[in-house]
Amino acid sequence: MRRIIDNRRIIEDRWRQVADAEALPPQGAVIVSLTRWRQERQALLARPDKRVGIRLKNDEPVADIAADLPYLVAIALEFPTFKDGRALTQARLLRERYGYRGELRAVGDVLRDQLFFMQRCGFDAFELRPDQNLEDALEAFDEFTVTYQAAADEPLPLYRRGR
CA distance to 34, 38, 106, 115, 119, per residue, from 47 (Å): 17, 15, 24, 32, 30
Domain CATH number, residue 139: 3.20.20.70
Residue 85's nearest CA partner among 61, 58, 107 is 58
Distance CA 108, CA 128 (A): 7
pTM: 0.92
Distance CA 65, CA 72 (A): 9
Domain that holds residue 45: 3-160
Q: How many domains does the chain have?
A: 1
Instruction: Tell me if 57 sits within 8 A of 63, measured CB to CB.
Output: no
Residues 107-156 have pLDDT tens digits of: 999 999 999 999 999 999 999 999 999 999 999 998 888 888 888 888 88
Residues 42-60 have pLDDT tens digits of: 999 999 888 999 999 999 9
Residues 78-91 have pLDDT tens digits of: 999 988 989 999 99
